[in-house]
Structure 1
Protein backbone atom coordinates (compact mmCIF):
# COMPACT_ATOMS: atom_id res chain seq x y z
CA UNK A 1 0.00 0.00 0.00
CA UNK A 2 1.12 3.57 -0.57
CA UNK A 3 0.84 4.77 3.04
CA UNK A 4 -0.10 3.40 6.47
CA UNK A 5 -3.62 3.17 7.85
CA UNK A 6 -4.66 1.33 10.99
CA UNK A 7 -7.68 -0.96 11.34
CA UNK A 8 -7.44 -2.29 7.80
CA UNK A 9 -8.55 -5.94 7.52
CA UNK A 10 -5.79 -8.37 6.66
CA UNK A 11 -5.96 -9.54 3.07
CA UNK A 12 -4.69 -12.89 1.94
CA UNK A 13 -1.86 -12.80 -0.59
CA UNK A 14 -1.49 -14.47 -3.97
CA UNK A 15 -1.61 -17.34 -4.65
CA UNK A 16 -4.59 -17.54 -2.32
CA UNK A 17 -7.52 -19.82 -1.66
CA UNK A 18 -9.67 -17.15 0.02
CA UNK A 19 -10.22 -13.57 -1.01
CA UNK A 20 -10.29 -14.57 -4.66
CA UNK A 21 -11.25 -12.04 -7.32
CA UNK A 22 -12.38 -13.56 -10.61
CA UNK A 23 -12.59 -11.01 -13.42
CA UNK A 24 -14.78 -11.36 -16.48
CA UNK A 25 -13.23 -10.37 -19.79
CA UNK A 26 -16.08 -9.82 -22.25
CA UNK A 27 -13.87 -8.95 -25.22
CA UNK A 28 -10.95 -6.78 -24.15
CA UNK A 29 -8.30 -5.98 -26.74
CA UNK A 30 -4.66 -6.74 -26.03
CA UNK A 31 -4.01 -3.03 -25.40
CA UNK A 32 -6.94 -2.87 -22.97
CA UNK A 33 -5.63 -5.95 -21.14
CA UNK A 34 -2.23 -4.34 -20.77
CA UNK A 35 -3.83 -1.20 -19.31
CA UNK A 36 -6.00 -3.28 -16.99
CA UNK A 37 -3.06 -5.33 -15.75
CA UNK A 38 -0.97 -2.22 -15.08
CA UNK A 39 -3.38 -1.18 -12.32
CA UNK A 40 -5.14 -4.36 -11.27
CA UNK A 41 -2.91 -7.41 -11.75
CA UNK A 42 -2.04 -7.50 -8.04
CA UNK A 43 -5.72 -7.81 -7.12
CA UNK A 44 -6.81 -10.20 -9.89
CA UNK A 45 -6.54 -13.94 -9.24
CA UNK A 46 -8.08 -15.42 -12.37
CA UNK A 47 -9.81 -14.20 -15.54
CA UNK A 48 -12.78 -15.75 -17.29
CA UNK A 49 -13.29 -15.14 -21.00
CA UNK A 50 -17.04 -14.65 -20.70
CA UNK A 51 -19.46 -17.28 -21.98
CA UNK A 52 -18.20 -18.23 -25.51
CA UNK A 53 -16.39 -15.01 -26.42
CA UNK A 54 -13.18 -16.98 -26.96
CA UNK A 55 -14.77 -18.49 -30.10
CA UNK A 56 -14.87 -15.11 -31.85
CA UNK A 57 -11.99 -13.27 -30.14
CA UNK A 58 -9.24 -12.22 -32.60
CA UNK A 59 -5.63 -13.03 -31.68
CA UNK A 60 -6.77 -15.39 -28.92
CA UNK A 61 -3.38 -17.01 -28.35
CA UNK A 62 -1.66 -13.64 -28.18
CA UNK A 63 -4.28 -12.42 -25.72
CA UNK A 64 -3.79 -15.45 -23.49
CA UNK A 65 -0.03 -14.87 -23.60
CA UNK A 66 -0.43 -11.36 -22.18
CA UNK A 67 -2.33 -12.70 -19.18
CA UNK A 68 0.19 -15.51 -18.76
CA UNK A 69 3.10 -13.08 -18.76
CA UNK A 70 1.43 -11.35 -15.79
CA UNK A 71 1.02 -14.66 -13.97
CA UNK A 72 -2.78 -14.58 -14.18
CA UNK A 73 -4.54 -17.79 -15.24
CA UNK A 74 -7.42 -17.65 -17.71
CA UNK A 75 -10.29 -20.01 -18.48
CA UNK A 76 -13.06 -20.21 -21.04
CA UNK A 77 -16.61 -19.49 -19.84
CA UNK A 78 -18.89 -22.38 -19.00
CA UNK A 79 -21.24 -21.60 -21.88
CA UNK A 80 -18.48 -22.64 -24.28
CA UNK A 81 -18.21 -25.99 -22.48
CA UNK A 82 -21.99 -26.39 -22.84
CA UNK A 83 -21.82 -25.46 -26.53
CA UNK A 84 -19.40 -28.34 -27.11
CA UNK A 85 -21.44 -30.75 -24.98
CA UNK A 86 -24.76 -30.09 -26.69
CA UNK A 87 -23.03 -30.81 -30.02
CA UNK A 88 -21.46 -34.04 -28.71
CA UNK A 89 -17.95 -32.60 -29.06
CA UNK A 90 -16.52 -33.19 -25.58
CA UNK A 91 -13.34 -34.82 -26.89
CA UNK A 92 -12.80 -31.86 -29.21
CA UNK A 93 -13.29 -29.50 -26.25
CA UNK A 94 -10.53 -31.31 -24.39
CA UNK A 95 -8.25 -30.94 -27.41
CA UNK A 96 -9.02 -27.21 -27.54
CA UNK A 97 -7.98 -26.86 -23.88
CA UNK A 98 -4.64 -28.45 -24.73
CA UNK A 99 -4.18 -26.49 -27.93
CA UNK A 100 -4.55 -23.18 -26.10
CA UNK A 101 -2.56 -24.25 -23.05
CA UNK A 102 -5.47 -23.87 -20.64
CA UNK A 103 -4.81 -24.89 -17.04
CA UNK A 104 -8.38 -24.29 -15.84
CA UNK A 105 -11.83 -25.15 -17.18
CA UNK A 106 -15.38 -24.41 -16.13
CA UNK A 107 -18.09 -27.05 -16.12
CA UNK A 108 -21.61 -25.66 -16.06
CA UNK A 109 -25.17 -26.51 -17.00
CA UNK A 110 -26.81 -23.11 -16.83
CA UNK A 111 -28.06 -23.09 -20.43
CA UNK A 112 -28.88 -26.76 -21.00
CA UNK A 113 -30.45 -29.63 -19.11
CA UNK A 114 -27.85 -32.06 -17.84
CA UNK A 115 -28.12 -34.99 -15.46
CA UNK A 116 -26.10 -34.46 -12.31
CA UNK A 117 -24.31 -37.78 -12.75
CA UNK A 118 -23.24 -36.73 -16.25
CA UNK A 119 -21.99 -33.37 -15.01
CA UNK A 120 -19.94 -35.02 -12.27
CA UNK A 121 -18.47 -37.42 -14.81
CA UNK A 122 -17.36 -34.49 -16.97
CA UNK A 123 -15.74 -32.98 -13.86
CA UNK A 124 -13.95 -36.24 -13.02
CA UNK A 125 -12.64 -36.54 -16.57
CA UNK A 126 -11.48 -32.93 -16.88
CA UNK A 127 -9.81 -33.04 -13.46
CA UNK A 128 -7.25 -35.39 -14.97
CA UNK A 129 -6.32 -32.63 -17.43
CA UNK A 130 -6.94 -29.24 -15.78
CA UNK A 131 -8.15 -27.57 -12.58
CA UNK A 132 -11.95 -27.51 -12.70
CA UNK A 133 -14.32 -24.81 -11.54
CA UNK A 134 -17.91 -25.99 -11.48
CA UNK A 135 -20.81 -23.59 -11.75
CA UNK A 136 -24.08 -24.27 -9.95
CA UNK A 137 -27.35 -22.54 -10.80
CA UNK A 138 -29.46 -21.80 -13.85
CA UNK A 139 -29.36 -18.83 -16.23
CA UNK A 140 -33.16 -19.08 -16.47
CA UNK A 141 -34.58 -16.52 -14.03
CA UNK A 142 -37.83 -18.48 -13.86
CA UNK A 143 -36.02 -21.57 -12.57
CA UNK A 144 -35.76 -21.31 -8.79
CA UNK A 145 -33.52 -23.94 -7.18
CA UNK A 146 -34.25 -24.57 -3.47
CA UNK A 147 -31.36 -24.20 -1.00
CA UNK A 148 -31.14 -27.92 -0.17
CA UNK A 149 -30.60 -28.68 -3.85
CA UNK A 150 -27.89 -26.02 -4.24
CA UNK A 151 -26.08 -27.65 -1.32
CA UNK A 152 -26.54 -31.15 -2.71
CA UNK A 153 -25.23 -30.11 -6.14
CA UNK A 154 -22.25 -28.24 -4.71
CA UNK A 155 -21.26 -31.14 -2.47
CA UNK A 156 -21.49 -33.63 -5.33
CA UNK A 157 -19.39 -31.48 -7.67
CA UNK A 158 -16.71 -30.84 -5.06
CA UNK A 159 -16.59 -34.57 -4.33
CA UNK A 160 -16.25 -35.22 -8.07
CA UNK A 161 -13.08 -33.14 -8.04
CA UNK A 162 -14.05 -29.50 -8.61
CA UNK A 163 -11.49 -27.15 -7.08
CA UNK A 164 -14.17 -24.54 -6.34
CA UNK A 165 -17.87 -24.17 -7.09
CA UNK A 166 -19.26 -20.97 -8.56
CA UNK A 167 -22.65 -19.57 -7.58
CA UNK A 168 -24.44 -18.54 -10.78
CA UNK A 169 -25.54 -14.94 -11.27
CA UNK A 170 -24.77 -14.24 -14.94
CA UNK A 171 -22.84 -11.16 -15.97
CA UNK A 172 -25.77 -8.95 -14.93
CA UNK A 173 -26.20 -10.34 -11.41
CA UNK A 174 -29.93 -10.93 -11.82
CA UNK A 175 -30.48 -14.71 -11.72
CA UNK A 176 -29.48 -17.66 -9.54
CA UNK A 177 -28.19 -16.16 -6.30
CA UNK A 178 -30.11 -12.97 -6.96
CA UNK A 179 -33.60 -11.83 -7.75
CA UNK A 180 -34.32 -10.07 -11.04
CA UNK A 181 -33.83 -6.76 -9.20
CA UNK A 182 -30.28 -7.76 -8.20
CA UNK A 183 -31.26 -8.30 -4.57
CA UNK A 184 -29.40 -11.15 -2.89
CA UNK A 185 -31.38 -14.27 -1.97
CA UNK A 186 -30.10 -13.91 1.56
CA UNK A 187 -31.62 -17.06 3.03
CA UNK A 188 -30.19 -19.13 0.17
CA UNK A 189 -26.65 -17.84 0.66
CA UNK A 190 -26.72 -18.21 4.44
CA UNK A 191 -28.03 -21.77 4.19
CA UNK A 192 -25.37 -22.73 1.65
CA UNK A 193 -22.68 -21.46 4.03
CA UNK A 194 -23.91 -23.77 6.78
CA UNK A 195 -22.85 -26.75 4.65
CA UNK A 196 -20.19 -25.61 2.16
CA UNK A 197 -16.85 -24.08 3.31
CA UNK A 198 -16.65 -20.43 2.27
CA UNK A 199 -13.23 -20.89 0.67
CA UNK A 200 -14.72 -23.45 -1.72
CA UNK A 201 -17.28 -21.03 -3.19
CA UNK A 202 -16.88 -18.17 -5.65
CA UNK A 203 -19.97 -15.97 -5.56
CA UNK A 204 -20.69 -14.25 -8.86
CA UNK A 205 -21.36 -10.66 -7.78
CA UNK A 206 -20.99 -8.17 -10.63
CA UNK A 207 -22.95 -5.37 -8.95
CA UNK A 208 -21.39 -3.13 -6.30
CA UNK A 209 -24.28 -3.65 -3.87
CA UNK A 210 -23.79 -7.42 -4.16
CA UNK A 211 -20.06 -7.15 -3.50
CA UNK A 212 -20.74 -5.02 -0.43
CA UNK A 213 -23.28 -7.54 0.85
CA UNK A 214 -20.86 -10.47 0.57
CA UNK A 215 -17.98 -8.56 2.16
CA UNK A 216 -20.20 -7.65 5.11
CA UNK A 217 -21.45 -11.23 5.45
CA UNK A 218 -18.25 -13.24 4.91
CA UNK A 219 -15.47 -10.67 5.36
CA UNK A 220 -12.71 -9.00 3.38
CA UNK A 221 -11.52 -12.35 2.02
CA UNK A 222 -14.72 -13.56 0.42
CA UNK A 223 -14.35 -15.11 -3.05
CA UNK A 224 -16.27 -13.13 -5.66
CA UNK A 225 -16.49 -13.34 -9.43
CA UNK A 226 -17.77 -11.80 -12.65
CA UNK A 227 -16.04 -8.56 -11.67
CA UNK A 228 -15.62 -6.06 -14.49
CA UNK A 229 -11.97 -5.15 -15.17
CA UNK A 230 -12.57 -1.48 -14.37
CA UNK A 231 -14.18 -2.42 -11.02
CA UNK A 232 -11.27 -4.41 -9.52
CA UNK A 233 -9.69 -1.47 -7.67
CA UNK A 234 -13.12 -0.40 -6.46
CA UNK A 235 -13.78 -3.91 -5.12
CA UNK A 236 -10.47 -3.89 -3.27
CA UNK A 237 -11.45 -0.69 -1.45
CA UNK A 238 -14.77 -2.28 -0.52
CA UNK A 239 -12.87 -5.26 0.89
CA UNK A 240 -10.66 -2.96 2.99
CA UNK A 241 -13.40 -0.69 4.37
CA UNK A 242 -12.21 2.25 2.30
CA UNK A 243 -15.44 3.01 0.48
CA UNK A 244 -18.56 4.49 2.00
CA UNK A 245 -20.51 1.23 1.83
CA UNK A 246 -18.10 -0.60 4.19
CA UNK A 247 -16.43 2.45 5.76
CA UNK A 248 -17.16 1.57 9.39
CA UNK A 249 -17.52 -2.18 8.98
CA UNK A 250 -13.96 -3.09 10.02
CA UNK A 251 -13.37 -0.32 12.56
CA UNK A 252 -13.06 -1.15 16.26
CA UNK A 253 -16.38 -0.36 17.85
Structure 2
Protein backbone atom coordinates (compact mmCIF):
# COMPACT_ATOMS: atom_id res chain seq x y z
CA UNK A 1 0.00 0.00 0.00
CA UNK A 2 1.49 3.25 -1.22
CA UNK A 3 0.88 6.61 0.46
CA UNK A 4 -0.22 9.39 -1.92
CA UNK A 5 0.29 12.62 0.04
CA UNK A 6 -1.06 14.89 -2.68
CA UNK A 7 0.19 13.77 -6.09
CA UNK A 8 -1.07 15.56 -9.17
CA UNK A 9 -2.75 13.63 -11.98
CA UNK A 10 0.49 13.71 -13.96
CA UNK A 11 2.49 12.46 -10.98
CA UNK A 12 -0.04 9.66 -10.47
CA UNK A 13 0.43 8.69 -14.13
CA UNK A 14 4.19 8.59 -13.61
CA UNK A 15 3.77 6.50 -10.46
CA UNK A 16 1.69 3.79 -12.12
CA UNK A 17 3.88 3.82 -15.24
CA UNK A 18 6.79 2.68 -13.07
CA UNK A 19 5.15 0.82 -10.22
CA UNK A 20 1.63 -0.42 -11.05
CA UNK A 21 2.86 -4.01 -11.27
CA UNK A 22 4.03 -3.84 -7.65
CA UNK A 23 1.27 -1.72 -6.07
CA UNK A 24 -1.98 -3.17 -4.72
CA UNK A 25 -3.42 -0.08 -3.05
CA UNK A 26 -2.88 3.65 -3.04
CA UNK A 27 -4.07 5.46 0.07
CA UNK A 28 -4.82 9.13 -0.45
CA UNK A 29 -3.29 10.11 2.87
CA UNK A 30 -5.36 11.37 5.81
CA UNK A 31 -7.80 13.98 4.31
CA UNK A 32 -5.90 15.01 1.17
CA UNK A 33 -8.66 13.57 -1.03
CA UNK A 34 -11.00 16.26 0.29
CA UNK A 35 -9.01 19.16 -1.18
CA UNK A 36 -6.91 17.74 -4.02
CA UNK A 37 -7.83 19.17 -7.45
CA UNK A 38 -8.97 16.82 -10.23
CA UNK A 39 -9.68 14.00 -7.80
CA UNK A 40 -11.87 12.03 -10.20
CA UNK A 41 -9.19 12.16 -12.88
CA UNK A 42 -6.56 10.89 -10.47
CA UNK A 43 -8.77 8.06 -9.23
CA UNK A 44 -9.36 7.07 -12.85
CA UNK A 45 -5.58 6.83 -13.39
CA UNK A 46 -5.28 4.37 -10.52
CA UNK A 47 -8.32 2.33 -11.54
CA UNK A 48 -7.16 2.04 -15.14
CA UNK A 49 -3.76 0.80 -13.93
CA UNK A 50 -5.39 -1.95 -11.86
CA UNK A 51 -4.50 -0.26 -8.56
CA UNK A 52 -7.15 0.18 -5.85
CA UNK A 53 -7.34 3.72 -4.40
CA UNK A 54 -8.98 4.56 -1.10
CA UNK A 55 -9.19 7.53 1.25
CA UNK A 56 -7.20 7.74 4.48
CA UNK A 57 -9.06 6.90 7.68
CA UNK A 58 -8.72 10.44 9.01
CA UNK A 59 -11.34 11.50 6.47
CA UNK A 60 -13.74 8.97 8.00
CA UNK A 61 -12.92 10.44 11.43
CA UNK A 62 -13.52 14.00 10.21
CA UNK A 63 -17.04 13.05 9.14
CA UNK A 64 -17.84 10.91 12.18
CA UNK A 65 -16.73 13.50 14.73
CA UNK A 66 -19.28 15.84 13.10
CA UNK A 67 -21.99 13.14 13.19
CA UNK A 68 -21.99 12.91 9.37
CA UNK A 69 -21.40 9.20 8.73
CA UNK A 70 -24.15 9.11 6.10
CA UNK A 71 -22.41 11.95 4.27
CA UNK A 72 -19.20 9.90 4.35
CA UNK A 73 -21.08 7.02 2.73
CA UNK A 74 -22.25 9.34 -0.01
CA UNK A 75 -18.66 10.45 -0.68
CA UNK A 76 -17.57 6.81 -1.04
CA UNK A 77 -20.47 6.14 -3.39
CA UNK A 78 -19.87 9.32 -5.40
CA UNK A 79 -16.32 8.28 -6.25
CA UNK A 80 -17.25 4.61 -6.79
CA UNK A 81 -14.64 3.35 -4.35
CA UNK A 82 -14.48 -0.38 -3.58
CA UNK A 83 -12.45 0.00 -0.39
CA UNK A 84 -12.69 2.30 2.61
CA UNK A 85 -10.63 2.77 5.74
CA UNK A 86 -11.96 3.18 9.27
CA UNK A 87 -9.64 4.47 11.98
CA UNK A 88 -9.75 6.24 15.31
CA UNK A 89 -6.20 7.54 15.54
CA UNK A 90 -7.17 11.21 15.86
CA UNK A 91 -10.47 11.00 17.75
CA UNK A 92 -11.72 9.24 20.86
CA UNK A 93 -14.20 6.63 19.66
CA UNK A 94 -15.48 3.83 21.91
CA UNK A 95 -14.30 0.59 20.35
CA UNK A 96 -17.75 -0.94 20.33
CA UNK A 97 -18.94 2.06 18.31
CA UNK A 98 -15.99 1.73 15.92
CA UNK A 99 -16.93 -1.90 15.33
CA UNK A 100 -20.51 -0.83 14.62
CA UNK A 101 -19.20 1.52 11.92
CA UNK A 102 -17.09 -1.32 10.49
CA UNK A 103 -20.18 -3.52 10.30
CA UNK A 104 -22.24 -0.76 8.65
CA UNK A 105 -19.58 0.20 6.13
CA UNK A 106 -18.81 -3.41 5.22
CA UNK A 107 -22.34 -3.66 3.80
CA UNK A 108 -21.27 -1.16 1.11
CA UNK A 109 -17.51 -1.65 0.51
CA UNK A 110 -14.56 -3.75 1.58
CA UNK A 111 -13.35 -2.35 4.91
CA UNK A 112 -9.75 -1.89 5.97
CA UNK A 113 -9.52 -0.83 9.60
CA UNK A 114 -6.56 0.76 11.31
CA UNK A 115 -5.49 -0.15 14.83
CA UNK A 116 -3.26 2.09 16.93
CA UNK A 117 -3.06 5.74 17.90
CA UNK A 118 -1.31 8.61 16.13
CA UNK A 119 -0.45 10.02 19.56
CA UNK A 120 3.03 8.86 20.57
CA UNK A 121 2.13 9.29 24.24
CA UNK A 122 -0.51 6.54 24.01
CA UNK A 123 1.29 3.20 24.28
CA UNK A 124 -1.03 0.19 24.09
CA UNK A 125 -0.09 -3.12 25.65
CA UNK A 126 0.15 -6.05 23.21
CA UNK A 127 -2.94 -7.77 24.65
CA UNK A 128 -4.93 -4.62 23.88
CA UNK A 129 -3.75 -4.53 20.25
CA UNK A 130 -4.73 -8.18 19.88
CA UNK A 131 -8.13 -7.70 21.48
CA UNK A 132 -8.95 -4.74 19.22
CA UNK A 133 -7.73 -6.56 16.11
CA UNK A 134 -9.81 -9.65 16.81
CA UNK A 135 -12.92 -7.57 17.44
CA UNK A 136 -12.49 -5.60 14.21
CA UNK A 137 -12.03 -8.75 12.12
CA UNK A 138 -15.15 -10.18 13.70
CA UNK A 139 -17.03 -6.94 12.95
CA UNK A 140 -16.24 -7.24 9.24
CA UNK A 141 -12.80 -5.82 8.50
CA UNK A 142 -11.10 -7.47 5.55
CA UNK A 143 -7.61 -6.33 6.52
CA UNK A 144 -6.11 -4.61 9.56
CA UNK A 145 -3.58 -1.79 9.31
CA UNK A 146 -1.07 -1.66 12.15
CA UNK A 147 -0.52 2.07 12.73
CA UNK A 148 2.77 3.92 12.45
CA UNK A 149 1.75 7.17 10.70
CA UNK A 150 3.64 8.23 7.58
CA UNK A 151 6.59 9.09 9.83
CA UNK A 152 7.08 5.57 11.16
CA UNK A 153 7.65 6.57 14.79
CA UNK A 154 4.42 5.78 16.67
CA UNK A 155 2.26 2.71 17.21
CA UNK A 156 4.35 -0.25 16.08
CA UNK A 157 7.54 1.73 16.54
CA UNK A 158 9.40 3.62 19.17
CA UNK A 159 10.06 7.33 18.67
CA UNK A 160 13.42 6.42 17.09
CA UNK A 161 11.67 4.30 14.43
CA UNK A 162 12.83 1.05 16.06
CA UNK A 163 10.33 -1.80 15.84
CA UNK A 164 8.57 -2.84 19.05
CA UNK A 165 9.60 -6.43 18.45
CA UNK A 166 7.79 -7.92 21.44
CA UNK A 167 4.55 -6.32 20.28
CA UNK A 168 4.92 -7.65 16.73
CA UNK A 169 5.72 -11.18 17.97
CA UNK A 170 2.69 -11.28 20.23
CA UNK A 171 0.39 -9.99 17.47
CA UNK A 172 1.65 -12.66 15.07
CA UNK A 173 0.98 -15.35 17.69
CA UNK A 174 -2.70 -14.42 17.70
CA UNK A 175 -3.58 -12.75 14.37
CA UNK A 176 -3.00 -14.36 10.93
CA UNK A 177 -0.19 -12.52 9.16
CA UNK A 178 -2.12 -12.33 5.90
CA UNK A 179 -4.78 -10.22 7.65
CA UNK A 180 -2.32 -7.48 8.64
CA UNK A 181 -0.87 -4.58 6.64
CA UNK A 182 2.17 -3.38 8.55
CA UNK A 183 2.79 0.34 8.06
CA UNK A 184 6.51 0.54 7.32
CA UNK A 185 7.59 3.79 5.66
CA UNK A 186 11.28 3.41 6.57
CA UNK A 187 13.68 1.01 4.84
CA UNK A 188 14.85 -0.52 8.12
CA UNK A 189 11.23 -1.33 8.99
CA UNK A 190 10.57 -2.89 5.60
CA UNK A 191 13.69 -5.04 5.90
CA UNK A 192 12.64 -6.13 9.40
CA UNK A 193 9.25 -7.41 8.26
CA UNK A 194 10.60 -9.07 5.12
CA UNK A 195 13.17 -10.90 7.24
CA UNK A 196 10.57 -11.81 9.86
CA UNK A 197 7.57 -12.80 7.75
CA UNK A 198 8.86 -13.32 4.22
CA UNK A 199 9.02 -11.66 0.84
CA UNK A 200 5.24 -11.37 0.45
CA UNK A 201 4.52 -9.61 3.74
CA UNK A 202 1.85 -6.89 3.46
CA UNK A 203 3.51 -3.48 3.83
CA UNK A 204 1.87 -0.06 3.91
CA UNK A 205 2.62 3.66 3.87
CA UNK A 206 5.31 3.09 1.27
CA UNK A 207 6.66 6.30 -0.23
CA UNK A 208 5.88 6.81 -3.90
CA UNK A 209 9.57 6.97 -4.79
CA UNK A 210 10.41 3.73 -2.98
CA UNK A 211 8.35 1.23 -5.03
CA UNK A 212 11.16 -0.24 -7.11
CA UNK A 213 13.64 -0.12 -4.22
CA UNK A 214 11.23 -2.08 -2.01
CA UNK A 215 10.57 -4.66 -4.71
CA UNK A 216 14.29 -5.36 -5.04
CA UNK A 217 14.44 -5.79 -1.26
CA UNK A 218 11.60 -8.32 -1.44
CA UNK A 219 13.43 -10.22 -4.18
CA UNK A 220 16.77 -10.41 -2.37
CA UNK A 221 18.38 -8.12 -4.92
CA UNK A 222 19.52 -5.51 -2.41
CA UNK A 223 22.25 -5.79 0.18
CA UNK A 224 19.84 -5.87 3.14
CA UNK A 225 18.20 -9.13 1.98
CA UNK A 226 20.72 -10.35 -0.59
CA UNK A 227 21.31 -13.72 1.07
CA UNK A 228 17.68 -14.43 1.99
CA UNK A 229 16.52 -16.17 -1.16
CA UNK A 230 19.61 -17.59 -2.85
Report the TM-score range of the alignment, normalised by the length of the smaller protein. over 0.9
The corresponding residue for 1:45 is 24
Match of 1:70 among 49, 58, 64: 49
For 1:76-118, what per-residue CA distance to the aligned partner results, in whole angstroms no more than 9, with x for missing partners? Answer: 0000000001011000000110011111000000001111110
Alpha-carbon shift at residue 250 of structure 1 (Å): 2.1
Normalized per residue, which structure has more helix?
2
The corresponding residue for 2:96 is 117
Match of 1:93 among 53, 57, 72: 72
- CA RMSD in angstroms, aligned pairs only: 0.6
Counterpart Cα distance in 1 of 2:94 and 2:229: 43
Structure 1 residue ranges, 4+ long, deviating more than 6 angstroms after superposition: none
Q: TM-score, normalised by structure 2?
A: 0.99
Counterpart Cα distance in 2 of 1:120 and 1:83: 17
Counterpart Cα distance in 2 of 1:242 and 1:143: 38
Counterpart Cα distance in 1 of 2:44 and 2:200: 28
Structure 1 runs not aligned, ≥5 long: 1-21
For 1:16-71, what per-residue CA distance to the aligned partner results, in whole angstroms no more than 9, with x for missing partners? Answer: xxxxxx00000111111111111100000011000000011001111101111111
The corresponding residue for 2:158 is 179
Counterpart Cα distance in 2 of 1:102 and 1:49: 12
Q: What aligned pairs does 1:127-142 form with structure 2 within 5 A after superposition?
A: 127-142=106-121
Structure 2 runs not aligned, ≥5 long: none
Alpha-carbon shift at residue 229 of structure 1 (Å): 1.1
SS of the aligned residue for 2:137 comes to: helix
Aligned length: 230
The corresponding residue for 2:226 is 247
